[in-house]
Amino acid sequence: MSKIFLFDALREATDEEMDRDKSVFVLGEDVGHYGGSYKVTKDLHVKYGDIRVLDTPIAENSFMGMAIGAAMTGLRPIVEGMNMSFLLLAFNQISNNAGMLRYTSGGNFKIPLVIRGPGGVGKQLGAEHSQRLEAYFQAIPGLKIVACSTPYNAKGLLKSAIRDDNPVILFEHVLLYNVRESVPEHEYFVPLDKAELVKLGSHITIVTYSRMRYHVLQAVDMLINDGYDPEIIDLISLKPIDIHTIIQSLKKTHRLLIVEECMKTGGIAAEIIAQVNDNYFDLLDAPIVRLSSQDIPTPYNGSLEKATVIQPEQIVEAVKKLLS
């Protein structure tokens, strides 16, 4: 086991897959000589050259379209969004082309495409650089969506995504790149459609993902001291949602709290609530509670920015209220 940062885990995954398969290549803004905005592709151009680690113009719709075309011809492109918010400029290519071409071609084309990069609310990055696009892309047929939260699952998810024959969006949180943990030195993969049971418990099920995993863990430390025993699930897979793991937990706890950084309206929590209420309502002993970011553009001011995102104290309060 070696202890590495999350950005190093992503770089290792990319390096291993590029070394194994010559059809894998990276493209995006400043991914080559600069090494990526968060150094996920650092020095890869030295090993693989400027064609397989391709610096693109600032034209998201153009290089996304090029990547989809490359995937149709048998290559396996990895598109890095310098900031995932910028990929709204390529929304047409991602939705109408990447998501739908395998279906609309009658299965004649596969789209083995990975779209990855930093997103989420950082530290005073402003509204346009603090977007959470998971809700934007969730409704698009044909996409798989995952969100990494640890170096271990980041590396395993990226390797699985690169080998998948469908378009996969991997969301990385801008504040998690310096999270550090031990990962196996042998090759491993993390499934693209499974949640992770982070902590067993019996009183309440807390479902979360990405950076909020750590806010939930902080809250649970406080709750345990007060005699509470929550179960924690990290979704990881945002599309499809691993509803089976959530339901197995609900059969024990009968109470559900969802914590997300996504906006409340139309967010990931909204989809989980709909699925549980539609199909498993009888398992609930109390209404489902969701803690989500406020439906406003993220303020630049640090104090206001913090106020828009769920904090550990709010999670503690919500659990105690649900269990009262």
Residues with catalytic roles = 60, 129
Whether the CB-CB separation of 159 and 18 falls below 8 Å is answered with no
Q: Which neighbouring-strand residues pair with 3?
A: 182
- Residue 178 CB-density burial (10 A; 0-12 exposed, 13-18 middle, 19+ buried): exposed
Which tokens go with 122?
A: 């950082």
- Cβ pair 297, 123 in contact under 8 A: no
Residue 71 corresponds to which tokens in the numbers above?
């995937």
Burial class (CB in 10 A: 0-12, 13-18, 19+), 301: exposed
Residues 6+ apart with CB under 8 A from 323: 203, 204, 228, 255
> How many residues are present in the chain?
324
Cα dihedral 43→48→52→57 (10° resolution): 30
Q: Are 202 and 239 in contact (CB under 8 A)?
A: no
Rounded CA-CA distance 71/98 in Å is 9
